[in-house]
Amino acid sequence: MEHDSTHSDPVAVADHHAHGDDDAYHPGWSTYWKVALILLVITVVEVWIYYIPSFSASRAFVPSLLAMSAIKFGIVVAFYMHLKYDHKLFRALFTGPLFIAATTLIALLFLFGQLVARFGPGK
Amino acid sequence: MSAPAAAHYTSTGLDSRKIAIWAFIGSECMLFVSLISTYLIYKGRSIVGPFPHEAWTSPSGQHFKPILNIPVTSASTFVLLMSSLAMVLALSAVQNKELPKRTTGDRILGSSKLWLWMTALLGTTFLGFQAFEFTSFVHEGLTIRTNLFGSSFFTLTGFHGAHVTAGVIWLLTLLAIDYRRGLGPKDALNVDIAALYWHFVDVVWIAIFTLVYLIK
Amino acid sequence: MATTALPTTGTLTAAPAYEGQSGIWSWLTTVDHKRIGVLYLFTALTFFLIGGLEAEIIRLQLQGPNGHVVSAELYNQLFTMHGTTMIFLAIMPLSAAFFNFLIPLQIGARDVAFPRLNAFSYWVYLFGGIFITLPILFNVAPNGGWFGYAPLSTRPFAPGLNIDFWVIGLQILGVSSLAAAFNFITTIINLRAPGMTLMRMPMFTWMSFVVQFLLVLAFPVITVALVFLLFDRFFGTQFYEIAAGADPLLWQHLFWIFGHPEVYILVLPAFGLVSEVLPTFSSKPLFGYPVMVYSGMLIGVLGFGVWAHHMFAVGMGPIGDSVFSLVTMLIAIPTGVKIFNWIATMAQGQLRFTTSMMFGIGLIALFTIGGISGVMHSSPPADLQQTDTYFIVAHFHYVLFGGSIMGIFAGIYLYFPKITGRMLDEGLGKIHFWVNFVGMNLTFFPMHFSGMLGMPRRIYTYDSGQGWDTFNMMSSIGAYILAVATMIFVYNFLKSRKHGAIAGANPWGAGTLEWTIPSPPPEYNFAVLPTVTSRYPLWEGDERDAESARINSQEGKTADELHIVLPYNTIKPMIVAGSMVIMFCGLIFAKPLIFIGAASMVVSLYSWLLSPLEPEHH
């Protein structure tokens, strides 16, 4: 945490906030439309492979879907939620809970036998 | 809305409301993970149909198709993703309200009202798709009481829909303020936290779309 | 240890610190973290007495074989409400009382980050507490245990209103805890005084910080589990409907993903309090401060990886059992580190055996016993012998009474002077400690034996001749002694509040920031925001600390004279809280109330959010 160094002067704080950028660089339209395009393309690919019977029956189907949605998740968080540019404190506040949440999800699926069924032989 | 900490000393120089919304989003991760886990745990455990990905014939001889409608949901997913684009543009319009606008493009990108309306409208469209999906499921014989799939599906997507609804109300509130006195750079933080919430609801849908709709 | 001489205050009075702020209206509308802390303290102590009374009736019933003081049905309500009350309405809010009162003072802030949200949390807690407590007077109190295992708590097995009150009550209380947690996370991150780095924060604030994250991550899970149960009971969903293919373990897993972090939510604040008590009365800094911080964080993280050790008996298979067993054993390490650090803090210190110190040392001893029996049932084969017996009851009472309650009493004796400006009576305090200590051990130690002899939990009566009679008699006598101890405390508390000796700013010669300001603190806390250069500004600080302390210890200035802007008092958070509870009541009593409550909540919420927090700055 970048502690304690900044803005002991309340006027400076208020002034700083008046510019509304709250420490974060925000990318503009030129980045935003590209992100939207990538999201769109990935979604199209996801739906497309869903309709290829040979692929959607293969072992690669689930992992590739998970990978693609993880990329979508990541770039929305990084660019639209500007976590890539923001104070690292926010990154910690998000990734910490996300890590615990993801671990809990995986542990639960394992405990209820859903993961074994998915990756194991025969399915 | 009030700005509680803005003129007070802070140790990080960050606005307290933004710290709080990120903590809230962290908490929401656990909420949706609990809902999604339950859906996945109960996947394939329903005793009677309709099922998400398999056709089913009831003992009484009634036929059910796989119930999830991928084309419609793909469209609603697209709508929600585009609403996130509109949302970042709304935020950037509010932040840059005082910059000079020379071209038509500048003026379009600089209109906070346009992009807030666009976001709210796309959000409402998403909710419309969801309402259509829910009613058609009910017509096809799937309610929240039918089977485990129905219970966990409607609860999960219903919770998400409730979040979108709250987001739309939030956006309309911002719009009301924009019409009353104009949103400017000093309001950027209020728009920013609404945007963070909105995008988070969007990424939750990204996860739901893959885990619930696409994976068979 | 060089103690910076504390500048003597001009007049030693426990005068009201709030000019023109008295009467019931000022309490209903307050947004001051200290007053809200006091509200939490009184409310939680009241619920502590109610929960204690429930326990006394339980012990009266079990005093001898074939006891029939209450019916089996009422007995179920009593043990359910005893657990629910002590956990959600007594220990958590007692911790919240300290969060509220202490955190801003310890980090050098004028209030919490969101004062009105703070008031909202309290009112939700109060209304939710009343909602879940009153039904016992009408014989419809929750009766499914504090863990409310589904499917036993679903409509077919529990048709009455009892579980409805429980499900909705916990949902309400969850809102309170979550709102408070977001508030304190933000406060600790963002409102620390200049120089108050994270690694200079007092240990109580540190442990509270960890607890807020546990709350934020654990409560959504119970919320979802309760929503499922609520939907099952009210809307006919099938989440816990075994005939429809539902898994009977779903509730257990979701509940304990919440339930185990909840244990740390209950005990870490007490650890924090004791980490303030021991240095103060050993006159030396906490031993191994960084290790204490890291072990607290490690307990928090590992706390999310041990939940299924509550469920060894269901048969999760060798991998699940081994992993959860291993992580459970691992979590004993950071906990043990804390115990050793406390002992090392006392080593070679100038010990003063005040009541607070005695409760602190009591915690170390008793919590260690509870911790060790905890490690015993981290082993699945051992746990299969112990699960659902009184051995477990013994274990968690050593953790929650020996740990949490002892720590909270240590904290109350330490901070009562800061809160009220007057000292608790030390003579009565020591009697309280010893009676409490004897009563506690006499109540809970024999339960290890009755449990090992096979006495199951939650039975409402038992036959003689099973070797349980003597141990139960001992436990019951111990419980009556505990009742006496609690009476002594209540008497001392009420008497000292009006007639105790005047405390002064720093009666104990403690070292942290909250002792630099008058007792009770003025409503603005710090006349100037302190500049902090060390972990114990009053002990090891340089001249900047001393200068801040000198200014801040002066009494009598009003906020106006100092040009300090304070938030407006407002009734709106209370109205929002009340509307929310009315909305939930609608589910049980009359459906229209749902819409009335919701409408009133939305209107009052908008009114709250659109009104300014405080006067404009100039």
Residue C389 backbone dihedrals phi, psi, to 5 degrees: -110, 175
* Predicted pLDDT at B2: 37
- Among positive and negative, which fits the CA dihedral B134, B140, B143, B147? negative
For the cut 90, the answer to whether the pLDDT of residue A22 exceeds it is no
Kindly report, residue by residue over C181-193, the tens digit of the pLDDT.
999 999 999 999 9
Boundaries of every domain in chain C: 24-569
* Predicted pLDDT at C414: 97
**Domain C24-569 CATH assignment equals 1.20.210.10:** yes
Q: How far is it, in rounded angstroms, from Cα C311 to Cα C319?
A: 14
- C601 within 8 A of C580, measured Cβ to Cβ: yes
B window 114-173, beta carbon within 8 A of A: none
Kindly report, residue by residue over C219-258, the tens digit of the pLDDT.
999 999 999 999 999 999 999 999 999 999 999 999 999 9
- Domains of chain B in sequence order: 16-47+69-214 (1.20.120.80)
* Predicted pLDDT at C10: 38
Q: How far is it, in rounded angstroms, from Cα C446 to Cα C389?
A: 12
Mean pLDDT, chain A, rounded, equals 79
Residues of C tagged active-site: 82, 111, 146, 176-177, 260, 262, 264, 275, 309-310, 335, 338, 457
CB contact set of C553 (below 8 Å; sequence gap of 6+): C6, C7, C9, C505, C516, C517, C518
Kindly report, residue by residue over B33-58, the tens digit of the pLDDT.
999 999 999 998 999 889 998 888 88
Q: Do B26 and C216 touch (CB under 8 A)?
A: yes
Name which of C219, C253, C532, C614 to mutate to probe chain A: the one with the most chain A Cβ atoms within 10 A of its Cβ: C253
pTM to 2 decimals? 0.93
CB contact set of A6 (below 8 Å; sequence gap of 6+): B12, B13
CB contact set of C156 (below 8 Å; sequence gap of 6+): none
- C563 within 8 A of A10, measured Cβ to Cβ: no
Least Cα distance to A98 among C501, C277, B36 occurs for: B36
pLDDT band at A99 (very low <50, low <70, confident <90, very high): very high
For the cut 70, the answer to whether the pLDDT of residue C160 exceeds it is yes
Q: What value does the mean pLDDT take over residues C116-136? A: 97
Q: What value does the mean pLDDT take over residues C114-125? A: 97
Name which of A7, A47, A95 to mutate to probe chain B: the one with the most chain B Cβ atoms within 10 A of its Cβ: A47
pLDDT band at C508 (very low <50, low <70, confident <90, very high): very high
- Is residue C503 helix, strand or coil? coil
Write down the residue that tokens 């949390």 correspond to: C121
| ipTM exceeds 0.90, yes or no | yes
Q: What value does the mean pLDDT take over residues C50-66? A: 97
Q: Give me the amino acid identity at B91.
A: L
Strands B63-64 and B56-57: antiparallel
For the cut 80, the answer to whether the pLDDT of residue C572 exceeds it is yes
Residue B64 backbone dihedrals phi, psi, to 5 degrees: -125, 135
Q: What value does the mean pLDDT take over residues B164-172? A: 97
Burial of C543 (0-12, 13-18, 19+ CB in 10 A): exposed
Label residue B130 left, alpha or beta by phi (over 0 means left) and psi (-120 to 50 means alpha): alpha
- Mutual orientation of helices C469-499 and C33-62 as an angle, nearest 10°? 150
CA atoms within 13 Å, Cβ hemisphere of C48:
24
pLDDT band at C464 (very low <50, low <70, confident <90, very high): very high
Boundaries of every domain in chain A: 26-86, 87-123
Q: What value does the mean pLDDT take over residues C54-82? A: 96
- Mutual orientation of helices C289-302 and C249-282 as an angle, nearest 10°? 170
Q: How far is it, in rounded angstroms, from Cα A82 to Cα A84?
A: 5
For the cut 90, the answer to whether the pLDDT of residue C578 exceeds it is yes
Kindly report, residue by residue over B126-155, the tens digit of the pLDDT.
999 999 999 999 999 999 999 999 999 999
Q: How far is A110 from chain C (nearest CA, A)?
A: 9
pLDDT band at C443 (very low <50, low <70, confident <90, very high): very high
Q: Do A100 and C192 touch (CB under 8 A)?
A: no
* Predicted pLDDT at A24: 59
Q: Do A8 and B9 touch (CB under 8 A)?
A: yes
Counting as contact any 3 or more CB pairs under 8 A, the partners of B are: A, C
For the cut 80, the answer to whether the pLDDT of residue A87 exceeds it is yes
| Neighbour count for residue A59 (Cβ, 10 Å) | 9
Considering only A2-16, C97-111, C445-459, C569-583, which range has the smallest mean pLDDT? A2-16
* Predicted pLDDT at B53: 87
Residue C354 backbone dihedrals phi, psi, to 5 degrees: -75, 170
pLDDT band at C604 (very low <50, low <70, confident <90, very high): very high
CA atoms within 13 Å, Cβ hemisphere of C158:
29
Kindly report, residue by residue over B11-27, the tens digit of the pLDDT.
999 999 999 999 999 99
Q: Give me the amino acid identity at A13.
A: V
CA atoms within 13 Å, Cβ hemisphere of C456:
7
Q: Do A14 and B85 touch (CB under 8 A)?
A: no
With pLDDT > 70 as the criterion, what percentage of chain B qualifies? 97
For the cut 50, the answer to whether the pLDDT of residue B3 exceeds it is no
| Neighbour count for residue B43 (Cβ, 10 Å) | 24
Q: How far is it, in rounded angstroms, from Cα B176 to Cα B183?
A: 10
